[in-house]
Structure 1
Amino acid sequence: MNFGEKIKELRESQGLLQRQLAANLEIDTPMFSKIERGERKAKREQVEQLAVLLNTDKPALFSIWLADQILDLIQNEPQANEAIEMVKKELTKA
């Protein structure tokens, strides 16, 4: 599940409208709609705000958002899997 799908699922399960969340994020409704559809990327600050507004686990929502960022960056690269494995090794050192 990508970030947009997750926030849409959470929003709908709580009976919230796009315009309500958009207003809280201080963006217009079409912009919020694009974030849900994956046509625009949410900013890090917006992810934090959404976690609070949608009463969901911040680290879990950040993980989904970050995974989307990484996928967007490397999805068309032939060495994507190799690069991911290298990053995983580096992260285990930290």
Structure 2
Amino acid sequence: MSLADNIKIIREKQGLLQKEVANHIGVDKSTYSKIEKGGREVTVAELQKLTKLFNLTTDAILNYDENLIPKEVVIEDKTIIEQMQLLEELDEEDKNIVFKMIDKMLTSKKFKDFFAKNVSSL
């Protein structure tokens, strides 16, 4: 695939309009359209702006392969063991945040359960 093809595919996968990308890199929509069709080369400055917009490296854009880009992880459809393995992949700070959130939710649940049980008996 060409750079023009890669840019178009990435833009579409990220749900961006041509106009949005054109504005971000500082060209009009018709000029951007030419870029995607291969009728105009991308300047280095434009490519640098694309890396920021797409949150990809220059190399990832030039050699785009959608199979190499990490996909969104959805933990809900995983088994408990898979969920724990995914949590183990987090760095320590992120793990601590996740566990603090779980602690807070469990504590809130215990208080709600306690309150519901004791208020209902009055």
The TM-score bracket by the shorter chain reads 0.5 to 0.7
Runs of 4+ in 1 over 6 A off after TM superposition: none
Structure 1 spans left out of the alignment, 5+ residues: 65-94
State TM-score, norm by structure 2: 0.49
Let me know the Cα RMSD of the aligned residues: 1.6
Higher RCO, 1 vs 2 (CA within 8 Å, ≥6 residues apart)? 1
Q: Is the contact between residue 47 and residue 62 of structure 1 (CA under 8 Å) also seen in structure 2?
A: no
- 1:92 paired residue number: none
State the shift of 1:4 in Å. Answer: 0.6
Report the counterpart of residue 21 of structure 1 in structure 2.
Answer: 21
Any residues of structure 2 matched to 1:1-94 within 5 Å, and which?
Answer: 1-62=1-62
1:63 is displaced (CA, Å) by 6.0
Unaligned runs of 5+ in 2: 65-122
- Structure 1 residues 44 and 63: alpha-carbon distance in aligned structure 2, compared to 1, 3 A threshold: farther
Aligned residues: 64
Greater share of helix: 1
Q: What is the TM-score when the length of structure 1 is the normalising length? A: 0.62
Over the matched positions of the two proteins, sequence identity in percent amounts to: 34
